[in-house]
Amino acid sequence: IIKVSIVIPLTCMFLGCIIVMLHTFASHRQFLETSRYLLFAYMLINDAFQVISSVVLFVLVVCQIKFPICYCIPLLFVSTATFQNTPLILAAMSLERYIAIVYPLQRPLAWRSDRIWVIILSLWIVSCLFPFIDFSIGKQDPNVDPFSTPVLCKTIKLNSSPIQMLFKAVISILFFAVVAVIILFTYVRILLETKKLRQDRASVNKAMYTVLLHGFQLVLCVLAFTHPITETLVVVHGWQPEDMAFFNYFTFILIPRFLSPLIYGFRDQSLRACIGK
């Protein structure tokens, strides 16, 4: 009861912030005509789906509600795809800031506001491709009928084979390593631009801070993979595994999503002013 009482109110507050920000985006044309804000709106929508799907899975497991795997797969697919989509969005937002600073007059066509949907669609396809492969290569338990046998909706029910575990580990490392390199590259290039641009140092410095925030959120996302360390702590100190699992979920899955609207939304002066109205 305590765990659910903590997660549900915070989730409602988070979704309330998302609704206010998306309403603000839809009500002001200036945001709909800027690539940076469109990518940010896409990140908010992705985080909303991630939080909703993961909270539903959390409540189902905590309440010990069982149902066939065929109904569980869509929830797990959405949760996994949106989780992997987060670092890709962070990389895209960092690249957008880099292009806006380094190539303000020669921006590539795909990064313009009227074509940014190409980038968004590409990110969504990539993030959905790997969960689809992951679920496809799994071995089905012969004792479990996917259409009739009720089970707890956990990823272990679909990701139990060694091949799946290896595939998931390789993809996760690849995703976050590539995104880390992109964020580091964009930060260094923008830092070098500060020595060249004398007339617009304020916008360049703001872009640097934005890329640093992307890196900070990436670190929070990477911490979601520290569960082997925390599982060792469970064995050493005799803690309850379900309590440690809740700590990992709340700290490394929910908190980074809750911080997204606060970090990127309310710190933006234009967006903050519109939200205030």
Write out the two tokens for 146. 């996917």
- Distance CA(181)–CA(188), nearest Å, equals 11
Indicate if the pLDDT at residue 158 is higher than 70.
Answer: no
CA distance 99 to 40: 16
| Listed ranges 43-57, 170-184, 191-205, 227-241; the one with the highest mean pLDDT | 43-57
Q: In the chain, pLDDT over 90 holds for what percent of residues?
A: 10
121 confidence band (pLDDT: 50, 70, 90) = very high
Domains of the chain (ranges; CATH) run 2-276 (1.20.1070.10)
3-state SS, the chain, equals CHHHHHHHHHHHHHHHHHHHHHHHHHHCHHHHCCHHHHHHHHHHHHHHHHHHHHHHHHHHHHCCCEECHHHHHHHHHHHHHHHHHHHHHHHHHHHHHHHHHHCCCCCCHHHCCCCHHHHHHHHHHHHHHHHHHHHHCCCCCCCCCCCCCCEECCHHHCCCCHHHHHHHHHHHHHHHHHHHHHHHHHHHHHHHHCCCCCCCHHHHHHHHHHHHHHHHHHHHHHHHHCHHHHHHHHHHHCCCHHHHHHHHHHHHHHHHHHHHHHHHHCCCHHHHHHHHC
| Least trusted range by pLDDT, from 23-32, 37-46, 155-164 | 155-164
Which of residues 140 and 67 earns the better pLDDT score? 67
Which residue in the block uniquely carries the two structure tokens 């964020």? 183
pLDDT of residue 134: 78
Cβ–Cβ < 8 Å for 4, 59: yes
- The kind and range of the H/E element at 67 are strand 66-67
Beta bridge partners of 152: 66
The confidence score (pLDDT) of residue 53 equals 92
pTM: 0.86
- CA proximity to 43, closest of 115, 112, 94, 109: 94
Of 5-14, 49-58, 136-145, which range is least confident? Answer: 136-145
**Average pLDDT of the chain, as a whole number:** 80
- Averaged over 127-134, what is the pLDDT? 85
